[in-house]
A and B are shown apart, each in its own frame.
Chain A
Amino acid sequence: KNQVEQSPQSLIILEGKNCTLQCNYTVSPFSNLRWYKQDTGRGPVSLTIMTFSENTKSNGRYTATLDADTKQSSLHITASQLSDSASYICVVSYLGDMRFGAGTRLTVKP
């Protein structure tokens, strides 16, 4: 059973719109959570990292939030651009190990 669940599986939005991706995890004890962006045909690249004590972190138009009590994280993308079309992967570290979500496939259309 995957211990990191992401939703939705895929999402299509119009350029300029905002969107929010979800990540729920069950792994414990929790160390940190990362969001990765994977462009088509490329390897994933880290966007943000949050530890247990952090609730929110921004990287340009990307804002990640974390609720360690409910074990939920979200990635909010503001004013989407065509280049945001990619897969977004949530990765949770625990007990010296990492578990990856299956990702959300985002398509931004003009």
Chain B
Amino acid sequence: GAGVSQSPSNKVTEKGKDVELRCDPISGHTALYWYRQSLGQGLEFLIYFQGNSAPDKSGLPSDRFSAERTGGSVSTLTIQRTQQEDSAVYLCASSLRQGGFDTEAFFGQGTRLTVV
């Protein structure tokens, strides 16, 4: 597709279960971001991938959260032992690096995670 694709669009899980959220960035985009947005709150940075560099994981809220990006393309955000406070919309964005800087970030539609 032409845009950033996230799946699933909605996920309801039981507390304590593990979940995986997927992001397919725009082809050729080297930078990939994960954010989450709790109800009525702003964007909270989680993790940033840029090419083959070590990812910036400074936003991950706990060790239950992890993310990987395989082959510099698709990324998976994994939340282990989910808690109710993990309920949020998880947004993925990708951008292209040109001249040493990231260009405009394009966002996916997000995955709405509900932990019950």
Which residue numbers of A lie inside 8 Å of B, CB to CB? 6, 9, 31-32, 34, 42-46, 49, 87, 89, 91, 93, 96-103, 105
Contact = CB atoms under 8 A, between A and B. Distances in A.
Contacts of B116: none
Interface residues of B, number: 27
Interface string B52-93: 000010000000000000000000000000000000000101
A96 B33 contact: no
Majority-rule SS of B interface residues: strand
A32 B101 contact: yes
Contacts of A6: 42
Nearest to B40: A105
Contacts of B100: 96
B12 interface: no
Interface in B22-65: 31, 33, 35, 40-45, 48, 50, 56
